[in-house]
Amino acid sequence: MIGWILAGLLVREAYVGMQGINERQMIFRQARSYADSIGKPLLVVGTPRWGFNHPCGDVTIDIQPGVGRYCDVEIADVRDIPYPSGHFGAAYVSHVLEHLPTIEDASRALDELERVADKVFTVSPDKNSLLAWGYPGHYLWINPSGDGYVIEQRRTGTKREAYWEA
């Protein structure tokens, strides 16, 4: 019986994982298309770790040195992006914001993204994923809501509705 339950959980997680990869690719294509349509570069925040989840941008930044196996990466913090206001047509942020330690850090990052890009596209882990719940480096849940985001601190359950042009 326990074997069947575990098998069911593994199948479910594989399905959620494939949906997540499809979502990343779809939203990346939307960001790429938007940036191209207005003739401005695309900023990608967070290096594609395995090469299949999403491509690199015209500029790709990451806070961790040495992660740029698939593209050239500039070392920069999403909370303090070293580009002028309005430089990018779009910013694509995939599975980055949930690793920031606090709601204030995520709010600051979203403010920075809005400053440097005309439109921001984000992807965060699904709150229904057991792997997302089990990963100790996830400090926040970031969920789109209307024309903004709801940011929730995982350990305390503190929530804050933050509105940006999504």
Domain at 114, CATH number: 3.40.50
State how many domains the chain has: 1
Other Cβ atoms within 10 Å of 138 Cβ, number: 18
Q: What range does the domain containing 35 cover?
A: 2-162
Given pLDDT bands bounded at 50, 70 and 90, which one contains residue 146? confident
The per-residue pLDDT for 48 is 76
- Burial category of 117 from C-beta neighbours within 10 Å (exposed 0-12, middle 13-18, buried 19 and up): buried
Give the helix/strand (H/E) hosting 14: helix 2-38
Whether 131 has a pLDDT exceeding 60, the answer reads: yes
Given pLDDT bands bounded at 50, 70 and 90, which one contains residue 20? low
Question: Is the pTM above the cut of 0.75?
Answer: yes
Whether 46 has a pLDDT exceeding 70, the answer reads: yes
Residue whose pair of structure tokens reads 């990869």 in the numeric block = 21
Whether 17 has a pLDDT exceeding 50, the answer reads: no
Given pLDDT bands bounded at 50, 70 and 90, which one contains residue 15? very low
**List of residues 6+ apart from 146 with CB closer than 8 A:** 163, 166
Average pLDDT over residues 68-89: 91
